[in-house]
Chain A
Amino acid sequence: MQQKKLLIILSRAPYGNAHSKDALDIALTAAAFEQEVALLFCEDACSILLNSQQPEKTGQKNLASICSALPMYDIETLYVEQRALKENGINASDLILPVLEVDQAAIASLIRESDIVLRF
């Protein structure tokens, strides 16, 4: 199978709807098929990576633990929108995995360089 560069952009807050879970499922599936996957967390989605989340309190599946499996699937490139971190008062050190902080211009280049872009 031809390898493509897939960029998955997560923009919605976790746990209110299925978007984040769907996006992560697609990322893991594509990586299992040896596609080159990068994830970008922006807007309300950067909280998906927070160490401190306890979704079991409302009976939901922990998205951070799904995220912690990403490196096992060779998904090493995690981008986070700088502005979103700042607006939500999140430090990169509060996150479950190491991330690269990107600004709007870098996001535009990421989109241009990818073969497929899916936004959730």
Chain B
Amino acid sequence: MRTLHTINQAPSNSQLWSSCLAALLPEDTLLLIENGVLGGTQAHRFAAVPNSVLIYALTPDLQTRGIAEQLAPNVIAVSDETFVQLACEHQKVVSWF
């Protein structure tokens, strides 16, 4: 069953980030929210993530922190509406906080 993973903590919370990234399976989706978007500028963080995992970051949270332009090429900025759509499209959501 495809899972939407959301993470709301900065990458300095390295234990949380490593547990979250290790839990990603092919076809899952990762959405960076709140302070989690800070990881969205660091492409190397996602090197070990399966290719079929799409990585998103929430635009309002990026804009809040002034990093919307620094987003890594493997991370896609999305709106709140897309967040809702993603939650609907996946069988379940796992919240990493």
Seen from chain A, the residues whose Cβ lies within 8 Å of a Cβ on chain B are 11, 42-43, 104-105, 107-109, 111-117, 119
**Measured CA separation A67–B96 after assembly (Å):** 23
Known: A11-B19, A42-B19. A108 touches B24 (CB 8 A): yes
A43, A107, A117: the one contacting B15 at CB < 8 Å is A43
Q: Are A115 and B25 CB-contacts (below 8 A) given A11-B19, A42-B19, A43-B19?
A: no
CB-CB under 8 A from A113, the residues of chain B are 1
Do B22 and A112 touch (CB < 8 A)?
no
Q: Which residues of B contact A (CB under 8 A)?
A: 1, 3, 15-16, 19, 22-25, 28, 91-92, 94-97
> What are the 8 tightest A-B residue pairs by CB atom distance, in nearest-first order?
A104-B22, A117-B94, A108-B23, A108-B25, A111-B23, A112-B25, A43-B15, A112-B1
Beta-carbon nearest neighbor of B28 in chain A = A112
